[in-house]
Amino acid sequence: MAVTVVIPTTLRLFTEHRSEIELEGRTVGEILGLLSEEYPETKKALFDEEGQLRAFINVFVNDENIRDLKEFDTEVKDGDEIILIPAIAGGSGVESVIGDRKGEKLTNDEINRYSRHLLLQEIGVKGQKRLKAAKVLIVGAGGLGTPLAQYLAAAGVGTIGIIDNDEVEESNLQRQVMHGTRDIGRPKVASAKDSIRQINPLVKVETYNMRLTAENAESIISEYDVVADASDNYPTRYLVNDTCVLLGKPDVFGAMYQFEGQVSVYYAKEGPCFRCMYPAPPPAGLVPSCAMGGVVGVLPGVIGTLQANEVIKLIVGGGKNLIGRVVTFDAWNLKWRELKIHKNDNCPLCGKKRTITEIEDFDYEDFCGLTQQKEEEAEVEGIEPKELKRRIDEGEKITIVDVREPHERAIAKFPDAIVIPIGQLERRQKELDTSVDTVFVCKEDKRSILAVNTLREAGYTGPLYNLKGGTNAWAREVDKDFPIY
């Protein structure tokens, strides 16, 4: 049976960047086994040490999760698709999440401003008054938070809260169109508030120039009707989900990487939560972030606008929302997929035997592997950019290995470096001289630390270092002509 395995962008590092692979087999287990044989690096990404599918990976046959079928024994037929859906970051309409709470009477100015909504039978005056009465919290004022805030403000959501502790950087401007050049260096929440006022001065904006933490999440989220998760890290995603479940709030989820995005609504009152879909995050460092892998500028506009659409439907009531469904979008190949997700009875948060009942008692950094990652990073010996430059200038025998992707090296080549992708390190380790110091370089030193640990696990005995701060630190401290990206 010829079956197509669809490889998401985050895992294509292990399949020589192929997006689809055709294999022949009778069951999902057989197909994944063949995939691991053809591309051995995928085995480590997909399966843990016990050979079990990693909890951050979902496998679908067409639109059904194999967890809801026969797991690896699920039979496939000619022409089927096996779709791998990692964490990156069917349902019908529900009643309005704000219940019967009614907004104040619309003024003539509001009737004029929102007239295109009022002409829609599905929204009308009643729905617009609900939007006016609603309070929505946006977690993150970056790529996804930008279109979310803009369209919710334009739609007339009465109160918009925005939480983010970052400042606007020049590299944000390629996609975060709410911010402008003059905002560089300003808190993102301040820039976002100014933009919302320009769009709709009738909207009340609450800003929180801080991180969402286990200590403040409940007090902040409890003030809102809907939460839109526009964050960019796993601890925050699980924290948002858990707080929403415990407080009975819907979590309108969006995530993106390079050319791919996901949108869903996790609402434990009506369907599954985020933990039902992803019981555990990927090991720290395995799945790269947008900061490392990039993102096409229009993608957050598409995904964030879809999130705004889901928020509006939840407030107004009605429509076919994404509770129990996840929509994936591949912008480069212009492909949409809709996949069904179901409540997991074994979910520790919303299942039948709940073990997570307090947010403050849960260590999100440890759960997401960040504690271990920090320990591993501390164990990896680093070399400062100026020290590396000194050793190069003095002619010391040293091996520099660039583990960046080819398109990154096209931006700027690192001097005197050989190229070995991380996925090839284990089988190419004999190319390195164990008697010579080897220094790994990448953009921000995360992948170089992963490279050191990969070789150590493979039994390499020579001295290994990572360039502290990566090529960006090299550009700041050593070579001002080397671009920061």
- For residue 288, the 8-state DSSP code is P
Phi, psi of 186 (to 5 degrees): -85, 155
Please confirm, yes or no, whether 290 is among the known catalytic residues: yes
Residue 233: strand, helix, or coil = coil
Q: Which residues of 135-157 are buried (b: 16+ CB within 10 A; e: fewer)?
A: bbbbbbbbbbbbbbbbbbbebbb
What is the residue whose two structure tokens read 């506009």? Answer: 301
Please state, in angstroms and as integers, the Cα–Cα distance from residue 209 to each residue in 191, 192, 238, 251, following that order. Answer: 11, 11, 20, 21
Cα gap 401→427, rounded to integer Å: 15
Cα gap 309→432, rounded to integer Å: 53
Task: Give, in degrees to the nearest 5, the angle at Cα 155 between 151 and 160.
Answer: 70
Cα gap 243→233, rounded to integer Å: 16
Q: Is 360 exposed, middle or buried (0-12, 13-18, 19+ CB in 10 A)?
A: exposed
Question: Which among 36, 86, 41 is positioned nearest to 59, based on CA atoms?
Answer: 86
Element containing residue 227 per DSSP (H, E): strand 226-229
Cα gap 399→439, rounded to integer Å: 6
Element containing residue 86 per DSSP (H, E): strand 81-86
Please confirm, yes or no, whether 244 is among the known catalytic residues: no
Task: Give, in degrees to the nearest 5, the angle at Cα 194 between 191 and 196.
Answer: 110
Q: Is 92 exposed, middle or buried (0-12, 13-18, 19+ CB in 10 A)?
A: exposed
Q: Which residues of 259-277 are buried (b: 16+ CB within 10 A; e: fewer)?
A: bbbbbbbbbbebbbbbbbb
Q: Which of 290, 347, 350, 368 is catalytic?
A: 290
> What's the number of CA atoms in the CB half-sphere (13 Å) around residue 189?
18
Q: Which of 244, 350, 368, 442 is catalytic?
A: 442
Show which residues are catalytic. Answer: 290, 442
